Amino acid sequence: MATYEECLKIVRDVLGDQLEPGKTADEKDALVADLGMGSLQMLELVVEIEDLLDISLPLNQLPEIQTVEDFARMLESVSAGSSQ
């Protein structure tokens, strides 16, 4: 089970690899509006993080992810469920 802070760090690290050089992802940033993520980039982001945490994120829940924080909170919740 990963804590919120650990999940946030994972999201920011993986995002950092995908964003333009010099750009960073802050907790409150919106993935599309602020960071310019397209749908294919989002898919790649999700798959990479799933592999890192060894979890599968339900597709039905992905539209709820608007910000970096949303993503980290969802990861925290799913990883808690998968470790029970």
Largest CA distance in the chain: 39
SS3 content of the chain, % helix, strand, coil (to 5): 60, 0, 35
Q: Any contact of residue 82 with other proteins (CB under 8 A)?
A: yes
**At its nearest, how many Å lie between other proteins and the CB of residue 26?**
26
Of positions 47, 64, 80, 81, contacts other proteins by CB under 8 A: 47
- Is residue 17 within the footprint of other proteins (CB under 8 A)? no
The interface region with other proteins, picked from 6-14, 22-30, 58-66, 67-75 by CB under 8 A, is 58-66
Among 16, 43, 64, 80, which residue interacts with other proteins (rule: CB under 8 A)?
43
d(CA 52, CA 37) in angstroms, rounded, equals 20
Burial class (CB within 10 angstroms; exposed 0-12, middle 13-18, buried 19+) of 8: buried
Kindly list the residues in this chain that would bind other proteins in the complex (CB under 8 A).
Answer: 38-40, 43, 47, 54-60, 82
